[in-house]
Structure 1
């Protein structure tokens, strides 16, 4: 008897990851087809996040960190908008290899959000993180290190899956960082679709904080 059930989609495996190692393995397996498959779903976060950056951070300001950059989809658009001092981090070496081929980033490092990051205090003018704070991905605690490596007066710009804002401790983390004087809230969007074509139930919100 054969099993005719369909194989899990790469996106489903990514969301189902229960550890950093499982997530890295899922992205390693997906890297080669990631751009094509997410484009078919209408994945828009890597492009929309550049609009929030442009609203709050002048062109030419830098350096800017693309946290959880994946295959580097945001990089060429950031560069076209005048952000030419770009760094990226991701936990998948396979994804970073593709990001490197886009020739938009001055440095790319393998690192995981939620762990210590390889930059000094106040190094970046801003960071962006698109689609990183979602099911099976980076924890809310990852915001502490991102705030640490962002300069006073700089900006934290990121999306969070709407279902996780309260249930996974993101709102609590926002409030704790605000109470500690690490940042102050600037902007919070209404929920919107992360995928323009598929996955209609996957909604996110964008957040902007000013650090320091």
Structure 2
């Protein structure tokens, strides 16, 4: 059963309507984020490795963890042979925890939805989980993720069911395909983001190859 503290933290995050509010919500949650989300069975930072390993060649570098949070994904992808992983997040507090975890070669404070500080085609792949959800990064973030991923590379991410249509993600997918920026490779069926609690929180995983 979800505890009151867990619900308060989640409510603060989902209720955020600006980048400043979202950063403040994650700053307040940072120190207890890992233990509380683990208790809820939050699995996205780990299951994303399955899609990365399926589509991205072992040893491809560098990769970008876009919205890396406390850095849960990095160490597991390094164990799978991805030795150069960079991370970005809008929360300094989250980045401090990711840095201490040691799975990343570089960490950058940046917000998805705006310009990103990398050249065209810098990354072999970009992946993101738990970021495209209510009150978080907009569908327009995908323009920059496609730009900074090299041709033949992949953009891999999850989208919460409640924003997939309402947040304009489907039209953005189609617009980038029409503009010959990427092509669709894989779309998962909806699945639970939390293995223990929050059964109504469903996401889908998407894989696009950059052209």
| 1:194 corresponds to | 193
- The runs of 5 or more residues in structure 2 that have no matched partner are none
Larger radius of gyration: 1
Q: CA RMSD in A?
A: 1.3
Indicate whether 1:22 and 2:21 are aligned.
yes
TM-score by length of 1: 0.96
Q: What is the distance in 2 between the residues matched to 1:15 and 1:24?
A: 12
| 1:169 corresponds to | 168
How far apart are 1:6 and its partner, in Å?
8.5
Q: What is the distance in 1 between the residues matched to 2:189 and 2:169?
A: 16
- The runs of 5 or more residues in structure 1 that have no matched partner are none
- Cα-to-partner distance string for 1:80-124 (whole Å, 9 max, x where unaligned): 001011000000000000000111100000000000001000000
- Cα-to-partner distance string for 1:112-157 (whole Å, 9 max, x where unaligned): 0000001000000001101100011000000000100000010010
3-state SS, counterpart of residue 22 of structure 1: helix
Flag the 1:209–1:101 CA change in 2: closer, same or farther, 3 A. Answer: same
Indicate whether 1:135 and 2:134 are aligned.
yes
Flag the 1:182–1:195 CA change in 2: closer, same or farther, 3 A. Answer: same
The runs of at least 4 consecutive aligned structure 1 residues that moved more than 2 Å come to 5-8
Number of residue pairs the alignment of both structures matches: 208
Q: What is the distance in 1 between the residues matched to 2:23 and 2:65?
A: 18
| 1:119 corresponds to | 118
